[in-house]
Structure 1
């Protein structure tokens, strides 16, 4: 790591920290850095002839900040110049900031080597060692991630790997992220992606890890029992229209209570979606094509697991959250 400048030292000496600084200090503690570096290192260029590569740890930290703060390659470069806390987190000085092409090339390296999935697995292995992924039950769900529907671009057409689908009375164009979360912790253990027109139930066999005893899902997964050929207790939500047809009485009251209990467990699957869309700013797909966006989404869910588990992880280390400004 390079020596920090006087300006950065002055920034670090402030009495209170900004929310960004608090967030980065928490991530510094909970990210399994050694495990992630070990995954990427065999694919990273080594020093030799030509330009000396930036330290791998610095580039990994820049890449994660890109995902946390929803920054493009040029915006990430500018942010490193402008914001001292980002430089400090990356271990970079003003004299050695990677340009946008270097940042782009690092992401392409991860994509070409399919390392997003390995990063996700390493994060979950870390959480499992801490006792935060128990795998006794799973909750499955999917969310639509919008893609630009306009044809006013160089090719004159929409992304051919994205499709439209109707949800309620509204049409959406984009992709779907399908996830399964641990029923106790709410942490994501499996991620798949498809075009938006793929039925949710089609992905259910790929989402289950095979050890769960119970599965919760919304009414879009009706018929999943026939696709999974093993003994699992299913808790699939009923259709509101079926509930409305039932006559008032004890049977309907019991059915309502049962649906409420299923919904209270199923609510945990919405938390990772909120984190990647609201906390990490995934309003629309960032790239063209399903492969690049899949790598991006998988990385975001790995980071969402760390963010949601951060308080428990920090408590295990005896750490207390710092105060914000």
Structure 2
């Protein structure tokens, strides 16, 4: 066992817990570590004649922190050297910190084997076993994730897999993340991605899991019923504001407003995962070039957003009192 460093000893002796430490303490409890390791282990290199690989669990922990804190590969390496709480969470010490290339290679391993989708499925299976993912109804929506529009780069052009689209009176360049969430819990059960100019309604068939009895969506999904094989679901598609404005004032319009309000109150749950990945996990712009790499990143973030949104219930189930800031 390696000797503890002075910085780690000082970290262990301090009284006040930072927000980062509180967050990592919660994630330590709610992440299904054994299940995730089982997904990745068949693809991870084993010790042989070459350089001994870092422990798989340490690399998984580093990868999750990289996603939680929006760190690049070089920034993640530096953070492990500088921040004792990150080293503690990764179960590493200063004598054995993975360099940026090792961190990059681990991410590439997950991308090459399409493991982001398996990570989401594993997290959701864990949540379903806990009774937090019920699948009685689905809410669908999409968000635009911006990509750099500058051509001042090594390729001399914009990412050819990203496109521009108009929303309202504004133009956006990037990709779209399409999600379906559980209507009871607001947790994401399915994710697809496209270029920003793709129509939302085109993804409806890939987003629904088939077991739901009700589907909620905004007015951009009008006609979605005709794009799926099952037509016995109850569809709650928002009306167009322009159609509402054309109606004369009266009881009929008031009834319609109440119906639209009820639809909107359910649909609001789909906005929570978007808020988490953009503001909690810092996805302001796409991190990589190409749709495949960014899809792996986005899917992983939605898996982690599910754990973050369900953390209080998960911690209560294992009898853990939520960590309090001093």
Aligned counterparts, 1:86-165, within 5 A: 86-165=86-165
Shift of 1:16: 2.3
TM-score normalised to structure 2 length? 0.98
Shift of 1:295: 0.2
In the other structure, the counterpart of 2:264 is 263
In the other structure, the counterpart of 2:213 is 213
Q: What is the alpha-carbon distance in structure 2 between the residues aligned to residue 205 and residue 40 of structure 1?
A: 29
Shift of 1:3: 5.7
Structure 1 pair 227–3 and aligned structure 2 pair: CA distance change class (3 A) = farther
Aligned counterparts, 1:1-325, within 5 A: 4-230=4-230, 231-325=232-326
Contact 1:2-1:92 within 8 A present in 2 as well:
no
Cα offsets for 1:26-67 (capped at 9, x unmatched): 000000000000011111111111111000000000000000
Q: What is the alpha-carbon distance in structure 2 between the residues aligned to residue 134 and residue 86 of structure 1?
A: 34
Structure 1 unaligned spans of 5+: none
- Root-mean-square deviation (CA, aligned residues, Å) is 1.0
Q: What is the alpha-carbon distance in structure 2 between the residues aligned to residue 243 and residue 263 of structure 1?
A: 14
SS of the aligned residue for 1:140 comes to: strand
Task: Tell me how many residue pairs correspond in the alignment.
Answer: 325
SS of the aligned residue for 2:175 comes to: strand
Question: Which shows bigger deviation, 208-217 or 47-56?
Answer: 47-56
Q: What is the alpha-carbon distance in structure 1 between the residues aligned to residue 254 and residue 276 of structure 2?
A: 34
Question: Which shows bigger deviation, 157-166 or 221-230?
Answer: 221-230
TM-score normalised to structure 1 length? 0.98
Shift of 1:287: 0.2
Structure 2 unaligned spans of 5+: none
Cα offsets for 1:60-81 (capped at 9, x unmatched): 0000000000000000000000
Q: What is the alpha-carbon distance in structure 1 between the residues aligned to residue 3 and residue 282 of structure 2?
A: 32
Structure 1 pair 118–77 and aligned structure 2 pair: CA distance change class (3 A) = same
Shift of 1:154: 1.4
